[in-house]
């Protein structure tokens, strides 16, 4: 582990810890101290070149790539945050100087790495963590806005044992004292350099994803054993890491029963209840006004595009099948969107900014679901693709675009659809009893070929926010012990 930064054990730096370092004879601590602390473009390119060399020609080639570049030895302060509740903050958080503003309305900190941060007095007062202002058990604020001083003033500041003690002045606040952990302040710093660092962390987290084509996953798709998931939290962690990295995972050895499938789904978090129910057990009986309840061909799509918050995960388990056809299809929508962005940017542009409507209508059951959303959602701060929302069957009348955008939108949608249907992007397999599949509905599109005969499936949705929360908790617990590459 590098002593100057925090990193996920599964990221590509750890890949080097396990492979490249040993191959090149570089000492691990020395390697990380020299190279792991800042995501500089030249370093990232070097690492990627070495990974490619290793994959193609072995460790010796990777060593040659590494030895061809002399890495700088300066230590920096890059880190990947693991959640507010985690103690794994950046190690190099020492303060070189503390300078209160002349009128007590701010506090300037100079860090030992040379960066400067200015905290407004009202921000510090609002974030006071004393028991009167912040509940130590519920982790919720107790200080309401009416009680927050309008113009708090800093009276005195002192520093000891990694804490910053702030004494307040002003009407009704003269006896109040706030104490801040210095690593906590740095983790929540809102200076421009700190916000840029957090964007870097999000990019690094996204680097853990593997965007795949069909041939890449067909030979050895991600899979975990049912017994391992059900018996220990580490098994759930491995399962969810598959979901983050590949966007889907199989679970093998599942008893072919609804009860066992439901219990497995609940190992992640509680199920999402919708008009389909919290857990489905269905066949081609048109019990709902949805193509999934037929035996017709279903093109690749994401589910619940008519919800403002689309389902996060979706699980399917085939309990019984006697017939022909019915192969399932998965497509890495984020990979395809990335290809579109690189090769046909004009199409990517309109699909990532046009708000288009979707609907689910079932008048007999009193359901009228309608919302708008983008086919491709991009995080404006990091430029990372965060969601694919694409379902041709649930598209509503297109009345949300400016007239000049209509032809361009249809051209772009057709281009995106053609890429999604390309054989090289469609991973085709057959769902069978005792082996279920679960996938990220914000990333991976799913479909099904037409079939004849009898087919019984069960499954469920999960909320994305609850899934990400569970993943982060497990990652905080296990990420420094395990690694993807063994």
Is pLDDT at 206 greater than 80 in this prediction? yes
Closest to 283 (Cα-Cα) out of 247, 320, 308: 320
* pLDDT score of 198: 84
- pLDDT band (50, 70, 90) for residue 287: low
* pLDDT score of 480: 59
Beta-carbon contacts of residue 454 (< 8 Å; ≥ 6 apart): 283, 320, 321, 322, 323
The mean pLDDT value of the chain amounts to 82
Backbone angles phi and psi of 2, in degrees to 5: -75, 140
Q: Do 184 and 93 meet the contact criterion of CB atoms below 8 Å apart?
A: no
Backbone angles phi and psi of 457, in degrees to 5: -125, 160
* pLDDT score of 69: 39
Beta-carbon contacts of residue 430 (< 8 Å; ≥ 6 apart): 326, 327, 328
Q: Please tell me the distance from the alpha carbon of residue 137 to that of residue 19, in angstroms, as a whole number.
A: 43
* pLDDT score of 50: 56
Q: What is the mean pLDDT of residues 125-144?
A: 94
Residue with tokens 């307040």: 168
Backbone angles phi and psi of 127, in degrees to 5: -100, 20
- pLDDT band (50, 70, 90) for residue 293: low
Is pLDDT at 14 greater than 50 in this prediction? no
* pLDDT score of 79: 28
Q: What is the mean pLDDT of residues 306-326?
A: 95
Tell me 403's DSSP state: G
pLDDT digit string (tens) for 139-149? Answer: 999 999 999 99
Give the gyration radius of the chain's Cα atoms. 26
Neighbours of 55 (CB within 10 A): 10
Q: Do 34 and 71 meet the contact criterion of CB atoms below 8 Å apart?
A: yes
Tokens at 248, concatenated = 């889907």
* pLDDT score of 290: 52
| Residues linked to residue 100 through DSSP beta bridges, in sequence order | 107
Q: What is the DSSP string of 80-147?
A: ----TT-S---S---EEEEEE-TTSSEEEEEETTS-EEEEEHHHHHHT--STTTB-TTT--B---GGG
Closest to 35 (Cα-Cα) out of 70, 81, 87: 70
pLDDT digit string (tens) for 376-390? Answer: 999 998 999 999 999
Q: What is the mean pLDDT of residues 316-344?
A: 96
Residue with tokens 């302060």: 77
Tokens at 94, concatenated = 């020492």
Backbone angles phi and psi of 451, in degrees to 5: -140, 165
* pLDDT score of 285: 56
Q: Please tell me the distance from the alpha carbon of residue 423 to that of residue 442, in angstroms, as a whole number.
A: 21
Backbone angles phi and psi of 467, in degrees to 5: -65, -45
Is beta strand 313-325 parallel, antiparallel or unpaired with respect to 435-440?
antiparallel
* pLDDT score of 94: 83
Beta-carbon contacts of residue 56 (< 8 Å; ≥ 6 apart): none
Q: Do 284 and 326 meet the contact criterion of CB atoms below 8 Å apart?
A: no
* pLDDT score of 142: 94
pLDDT digit string (tens) for 371-423? Answer: 999 999 999 989 999 999 999 999 999 999 999 999 999 999 999 999 999 99
Out of 46-60, 146-160, 387-401, pick the least confident: 46-60
pLDDT digit string (tens) for 231-279? Answer: 999 999 999 999 999 999 999 999 999 999 999 999 999 999 999 999 9
Residue bearing the bigger pLDDT, 295 or 67: 295
* pLDDT score of 48: 54
- pLDDT band (50, 70, 90) for residue 158: very high
Q: Please tell me the distance from the alpha carbon of residue 20 to that of residue 67, in angstroms, as a whole number.
A: 11
Is pLDDT at 56 greater than 70 in this prediction? no
Most confident of 134-138, 203-207, 281-285: 134-138
Residue with tokens 């069978």: 432
Tell me 432's DSSP state: B
Is pLDDT at 70 greater than 50 in this prediction? no
Is pLDDT at 284 greater than 90 in this prediction? no
Task: Give Cα 355 distance to the centre of its chain.
Answer: 23
Q: What is the mean pLDDT of residues 67-94?
A: 36
Q: Please tell me the distance from the alpha carbon of residue 62 to that of residue 52, in angstroms, as a whole number.
A: 8
């Amino acid at each position: 582990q590098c002593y100057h930064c925090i990193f996920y054990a599964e990221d590509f730096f750890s890949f080097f810890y396990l492979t490249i370092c040993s191959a090149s004879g570089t000492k691990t601590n020395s390697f990380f101290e020299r190279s792991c602390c800042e995501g500089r473009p030249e370093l990232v390119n070097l690492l990627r070149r070495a990974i490619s060399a290793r994959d193609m020609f072995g460790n010796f080639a990777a060593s040659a790539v590494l030895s061809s570049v002399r890495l700088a030895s300066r230590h920096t302060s890059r880190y990947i945050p693991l959640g507010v509740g985690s103690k794994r903050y950046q190690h190099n958080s020492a303060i070189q100087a503390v300078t209160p503003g002349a009128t007590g309305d701010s506090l300037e900190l100079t860090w030992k790495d040379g960066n400067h941060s200015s905290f407004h007095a009202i921000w510090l007062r609002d974030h006071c963590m004393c028991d009167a202002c912040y509940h130590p058990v519920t982790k919720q604020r107790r200080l309401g806005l009416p009680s927050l001083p309008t113009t708090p003033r800093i009276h005195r500041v002192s520093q000891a044992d990694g804490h910053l003690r702030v004494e307040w002045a002003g009407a009704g606040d003269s006896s109040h004292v706030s104490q801040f952990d210095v690593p906590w302040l740095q983790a929540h710093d809102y200076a421009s350099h700190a916000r840029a660092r957090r964007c870097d962390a999000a990019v690094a987290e996204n680097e853990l994803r593997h965007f795949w084509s069909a041939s890449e996953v067909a030979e050895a798709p991600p899979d975990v054993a049912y017994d391992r998931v059900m018996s220990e939290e580490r098994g759930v962690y491995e399962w969810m890491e598959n979901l983050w990295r590949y966007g889907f995972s199989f679970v093998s050895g599942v008893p072919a029963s609804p009860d066992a499938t439901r219990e497995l789904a609940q190992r992640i978090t509680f199920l999402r209840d919708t008009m389909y129910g919290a857990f489905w057990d269905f066949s081609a009986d048109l019990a709902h006004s949805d193509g999934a309840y037929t035996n017709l061909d279903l093109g690749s799509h994401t589910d619940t595009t008519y919800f403002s918050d689309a389902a996060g995960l979706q699980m399917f388990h085939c309990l019984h099948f006697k017939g022909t056809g019915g192969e399932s299809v998965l497509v890495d929508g984020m990979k395809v969107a990335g290809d579109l962005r690189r090769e046909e940017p004009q199409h990517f542009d309109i699909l990532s900014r046009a708000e288009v409507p979707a609907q689910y209508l079932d008048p007999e059951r009193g359901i009228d679901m309608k919302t708008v959303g983008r086919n491709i959602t991009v995080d404006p701060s990091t430029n990372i693709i965060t969601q694919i929302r694409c379902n041709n069957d649930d598209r509503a009348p297109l009345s949300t675009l400016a007239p000049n955008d209509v032809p361009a939108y249809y051209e772009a949608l057709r281009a995106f659809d053609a890429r999604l249907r390309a054989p090289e992007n469609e991973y085709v397999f057959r769902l069978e009893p005792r082996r279920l599949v679960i996938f990220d509905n914000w990333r991976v599109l799913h479909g099904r070929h037409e079939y004849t005969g009898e087919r019984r499936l069960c499954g469920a949705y999960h909320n994305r926010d609850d899934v990400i929360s569970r993943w982060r908790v497990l990652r905080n617990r296990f990420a420094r012990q395990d690694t993807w590459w063994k």
